Structure 1
Amino acid sequence: MGSVANGIITETDVVVIGAGFSGLYMVHSLRKFGFNVRAFEKAPDVGGTWYWNRYPGARCDSESLTYCYTFDEQLFQDWVWSERYPAGPEVLKYLRHVADRFDLRQHFQFETAVQSATYDEVARRWTITASTGEVVSTQFFISAVGNLSVPATPAVKGIESFQGQWLHTGRWPLQPIDFTGKRVAVIGTGSSGVQVTQEIAKTAAHLTVFQRTPTFTIPLRNMPLDPDYQRLWKSNARELIKKTRYSDGGLPFFASSTPLKGQDPEVVEQGLEAAWGVGGFKFLFGTFCDVGSDHESNAIVADFARRKIASIVKDAEKLRVLTPTGYPLGAKRIPLDTGYFQVYNQDNVHIVDLKENPIKEMTSGGLIAGETEHAFDLVIFATGFDAITGPLMQMDITGRGGQKLKDTWADGPYGYLGVGVPGFPNLLTLGGPGGVGVISNVPPTAEQAVEFAAECVAYLRDHNIDEIEATTEAADLWCEHVHAEAFKTMYPYAPSSWHDGSNLGKKARPFPAYTPGFSKFRRICDNIAAEGYTSFKLHHKGEAGSKANYKAHDPEWYTKVVQAPSSAELASWLEKSPMWT
């Protein structure tokens, strides 16, 4: 393993950070291309987010048969999922299986964080310093740290004085916690808050949920997966994989092409009711095509969802606090729930509006919200993550001319295609700013980012190119396009969201994710690769650095309509899928 011994720094071709979906596949892909690769992971084992998110109720909101790798058909065929939506332990078991199947652990150094990375402009190499003191020199530095891996814990006054236990859902302990007879606080009502609330309410003596923004939810409708259905799915594996890789959301389902506008109200109500019964993202993507782009259509669907909440919550005051208003459905990530609103009908469950009663401080016995002191044995922060840029900003990363990455991102995410940052040559960020990772199904979008990066570094090696860098011109053009496209959706209209950092009180900044769809994004990247990465600045060995081979794409390039491959037979089969009907 790489270390400093007798003043010698270990050298390798590529350093990868992270052992989640992206990191595992990145190491596997680089190895297939013949690269020497070192990988570091903070956790004691593989799993990424799924290693840390062990809280009760943790569950994936993509269906299990789509929440998996597609790069190896035999892996796809062999793995058997137990439920429609896999629980956290099952996803972790799957990732461990992948690591063992492809013998990937040998390349990872666990319980090791990267503390600093500095680019040498003369040698055109990165010097990586790990938390163990090890130093590694590498040509390429690839971040697979994930977008949701740094927990955001509010700086609450007096937290050190609390005599009970406090936890963050993103760093849950290995040992299970018994909530029986305990007074518990859950702070936050995003996906983690919704999931953990549903579980704690079953046994806690008293549960108080502290909510900043009321949330829309959609029924999960989870169920065991029928073996015959799984066999049917796998018999169509090749078509499904093709469809997944060129679909709008990284899901092999066909989104509706019918607009809500102009429809008879009775038809709209019937369609929404049917989709609500199916549950999951069918309600968003399989009903009407303009829910995510037209505010009037969105308002109708949002009102439908509010009526569903009103039909469940019996207490008028709780209903007032829990009802989401003032922002569009889908602007914030929508949790999938199993009886979330029903728990508020229990006498032992209460809800506190943090806008009306902000948390002032924690005390030895609980916390003060508004003018009321609440007593707790356990306080759980389900307050989300410092998303997208947070993981890399924890490291001291220095690029060209002493430029710090934390300074480059001080005003928000900035990059090209989610993979390159101007001023940081040979640093590739999988799913970084401008990518699709945070709004598309994780495994296929991770695969796309990995394949783009792996094929890129192999191309550079084979063409005697020792440096690649996103240019300011390309990044500016891309960021402008991404931001403009975002305002054709509901995302920018969220009152607070980890998508743009407003959950942490950060000032408004460019929207960080490509919203026109995974399929279009993949096609753009495919074409950039086919052109020899000429939209980046490339440095051939022996040549002085220049922009001579830089070629910026015309802005219209990014708005070309691309169609995903499909077959009428597969389309017909998917429309009849029991997951959708």
Structure 2
Amino acid sequence: MPDRLSGTTQGFAPDPDAAPHPDAAPHPGTAPDHDVLIIGAGFAGLYQLHRLRELGHDARIIEAGDDVGGTWYWNRYPGARCDIESVEYSYSFDPELQDEWDWSERYAAQPELLAYAQHVADRYGLREDITFGTRVERLDWDDEAGRWTVTTDDGASRTARYVIAATGCLSVPSRPEFEGLTDFAGEVYRTSRWPHEGVDLTGKRVAVIGTGSSGLQTITAIAPVVGELTVFQRTPSYAVPAHNGPNAQRLADARKRYSEIREHSRMSRTGFGCPEGTLLLADTPAEEARREFDTRWADGGLCFSSAFKDILRDARANEIAAEYVRDRIRAKVEDPQLAEKLSPRTYPIASKRMCVDTGYFEVYNQPNVSLVDLNEQPIRRITERGIVTGVTGEAGKAGEADDEREHACDVIVLATGFDAMTGALTAMDIRGTGPTLREKWAHGPRTYLGLMSAGFPNLFTITGPQSPSVLSNMMTSIEYHVDWITRALEHLRAHGLHRMEAAPEAEDNWVNTTNDLAARTLMPQAASWYMGANIPGKQRVFMPFIGGVGTYRQIGDGVATAHYHGFELA
């Protein structure tokens, strides 16, 4: 194997025995099929393909779905929409694209987001370099040849010098086991894999299990049309209003200052235009704090939790913010006991991703909607007719329950979330120079900057664990990672280099930094998917980088400027 350089290329003469430069004439039989293979044709994969093609790389996407769109191809459940405003949940790399696409709503719904992805693919002619309907199952690194072999579910294999995983942070559904689910005689749907032809729920008795973001959106959308709706809630969600509506004026205003908006977002904490509070809530008079919360509530959206800078650091401040939201829930829900069940009390506000709702709490004032609190009445089994809940008796045996009830239904909707951040990567059998990625990450992900993991040369991850990713506007984070990776590949090409890998000591330092920053906040106190807590057996560790998009960008730029310090180049 050629000698390695740790973060420097100046004065380095290429190893004559190293694998050939992508632009050089390859030795017969040794050239990889592609310079780069990209896994996934969502927003990350599409932009990455576009950037690499611009620079003359032979790049190809492998996509499991039958079309582009990623998250917005798969998630077609009723009410699915983004929780970031449309004018910012969009690409910024081409001013003409910004100006030609007219977002109809403040928060775009799934059909419009999918249409946008399709428009981008067609506008830049990307489909010709995408293989659809093909799922990557295995990646094998050949250290001597300096390339990856990518094996897909059709039995085919392709080789590439570099692989870029644009697999998404929320793309592998969680599949909790429910006893008797296969016995149910009615229809069963998962929000994460909703039928593309749609489902007619008119007049039916529908049960929804789960009250995260997809559950809230589904419940709000179907409540007016179903016959009966029974919601099975384990953990209530903090939700702030979207105040969604037509977007023409917002879009017109944004177009006048789009460059300013984008620049601010790239250096902000959240990756979108969110005013950051500068005061400590714990030291702010109650009336003044209430006015600030009222203003944020009236504006709507996720900026609510940015009103004061200590909400996620001080338990007293957090409780003040939480009680404000609980008070708003009480004002919306007519039944006081039901309002209390819908009010979160077991975790700090904003320690799980907050939901942006379009009338969720008001749904419970409808006579056809009921709530089952799974903390009081856990699901015991599913029968042919419906869902049985109840508290097990002292003997703990079937049939000896203190309070057992069967909730009859025609349809069961599973809104049970995703194996977040790591699930799409560990679902593949990825074999580098040591343990498999699944084995290495058994006790939590280990990366450098969320971009690479030691032991897996030339494998990049877009918005991978230990980057801002899900704590940010994903579009802002996607574009930064794609641009960073593209620049890194150009650096390798310009210097006659063919191998890049995270150095173990740099990775250790970054993992410790990510963990230490999270530990200074209230975030790890929630049993959230940020922690992997929704997946049985998954190690609980806070996975995103909480330092903010702007801070992360400065670090990433500094690493690149310092000749990719912390990466081994060869």
TM-score (norm 1): 0.89
Give the letter for the 2:382 counterpart.
Answer: M
Q: Which residue of 2 aligns with 1:165?
A: 187
Q: Which residue of 1 aligns with 2:111?
A: 89
Superposed, 1:219-238 pairs within 5 Å as 219-227=241-249, 229-238=250-259
> Does 108-117 or 349-358 show the bigger shift?
349-358
> Does 408-417 or 64-73 show the bigger shift?
408-417
Shift of 1:10: 6.3
Give the letter for the 2:275 counterpart.
Answer: F
Q: Which residue of 1 aligns with 2:428?
A: 395
Gaps of 5+ in 1: 1-6, 540-581
Distance in 1 of aligned mates of 2:340 and 2:537: 28
Aligned counterpart for 2:457 among listed residues 398, 401, 425? 425
Shift of 1:507: 5.0
> Does 270-279 or 80-89 show the bigger shift?
270-279
Shift of 1:405: 1.1
Shift of 1:32: 1.4
Aligned counterpart for 1:129 among listed residues 132, 151, 156? 151
Distance in 2 of aligned mates of 1:13 and 1:507: 34
Aligned counterpart for 1:270 among listed residues 264, 281, 291? 291
Does the CA contact (< 8 Å) of 1:165 and 1:379 recur in 2? Answer: yes
Does the CA contact (< 8 Å) of 2:387 and 2:407 recur in 1? Answer: yes
Deviations 1:217-260 (A, max 9, x none): 10111110134x42332121222222122221111333222222
Cα distance change on mapping 1:159 and 1:415 into 2, 3 Å: same
Q: Which residue of 2 aligns with 1:302?
A: 322
Task: Give SS of 2:320's match.
Answer: helix
Shift of 1:275: 1.5
Give the letter for the 2:419 counterpart.
Answer: D
Give the letter for the 2:476 counterpart.
Answer: P
Does the CA contact (< 8 Å) of 1:53 and 1:170 recur in 2? Answer: yes
Superposed, 1:135-214 pairs within 5 Å as 135-214=157-236
Give the letter for the 2:311 counterpart.
Answer: V
Distance in 2 of aligned mates of 1:445 and 1:525: 12
Give the letter for the 2:558 counterpart.
Answer: N
Give the letter for the 2:492 counterpart.
Answer: L
CA RMSD of aligned residues (A): 1.5
Shift of 1:509: 3.2
Does the CA contact (< 8 Å) of 1:416 and 1:433 recur in 2? Answer: no
Shift of 1:317: 3.1
Superposed, 1:374-523 pairs within 5 Å as 374-401=407-434, 403-494=435-526, 496-523=527-554
Give the letter for the 2:142 counterpart.
Answer: D
Distance in 1 of aligned mates of 2:554 and 2:537: 33
Does the CA contact (< 8 Å) of 1:284 and 1:291 recur in 2? Answer: yes
Count how many residue pairs are aligned between Structure 1 and Structure 2: 529
- Could you tell me the percent identity over the aligned residues? 43
Structure scoring higher RCO (CA < 8 A, sep ≥ 6) equals: 2
Q: Which residue of 2 aligns with 1:18?
A: 40
Q: Which residue of 2 aligns with 1:579?
A: none
Q: Work out whether 1:259 is the aligned partner of 2:292.
A: no
Q: Work out whether 1:247 is the aligned partner of 2:268.
A: yes
Distance in 2 of aligned mates of 1:461 and 1:255: 41
Give the letter for the 2:151 counterpart.
Answer: T
Give the letter for the 1:216 counterpart.
Answer: Y
Distance in 1 of aligned mates of 2:46 and 2:522: 33
Distance in 1 of aligned mates of 2:538 and 2:151: 32
Does the CA contact (< 8 Å) of 2:302 and 2:354 recur in 1? Answer: no
Task: Give SS of 1:15's match.
Answer: strand
Give the letter for the 1:90 counterpart.
Answer: E
Q: Which residue of 2 aligns with 1:283?
A: 304
Q: Which residue of 2 aligns with 1:332?
A: 352
Cα distance change on mapping 1:380 and 1:269 into 2, 3 Å: same
Distance in 2 of aligned mates of 1:128 and 1:438: 27
TM-score (norm 2): 0.90
Superposed, 1:44-59 pairs within 5 Å as 44-59=66-81
Q: Which residue of 2 aligns with 1:527?
A: 558
Q: Which residue of 2 aligns with 1:366?
A: 386
Does the CA contact (< 8 Å) of 2:518 and 2:524 recur in 1? Answer: yes
Does the CA contact (< 8 Å) of 2:32 and 2:161 recur in 1? Answer: no
Give the letter for the 1:390 counterpart.
Answer: G
Q: Work out whether 1:351 is the aligned partner of 2:336.
A: no
Distance in 1 of aligned mates of 2:119 and 2:464: 27
Q: Which residue of 1 aligns with 2:398?
A: none
Distance in 2 of aligned mates of 1:460 and 1:68: 29
Does the CA contact (< 8 Å) of 2:364 and 2:370 recur in 1? Answer: yes
Distance in 1 of aligned mates of 2:564 and 2:295: 46
Task: Give SS of 2:261's match.
Answer: helix
Does the CA contact (< 8 Å) of 2:452 and 2:459 recur in 1? Answer: yes
Aligned counterpart for 1:321 among listed residues 338, 341, 355? 341
Deviations 1:19-50 (A, max 9, x none): 11110001011111211012100110000000
Does the CA contact (< 8 Å) of 1:58 and 1:88 recur in 2? Answer: yes
Distance in 2 of aligned mates of 1:266 and 1:253: 22
Task: Give SS of 2:283's match.
Answer: coil
Distance in 1 of aligned mates of 2:477 and 2:389: 41
Give the letter for the 1:397 counterpart.
Answer: I
Distance in 1 of aligned mates of 2:439 and 2:251: 49
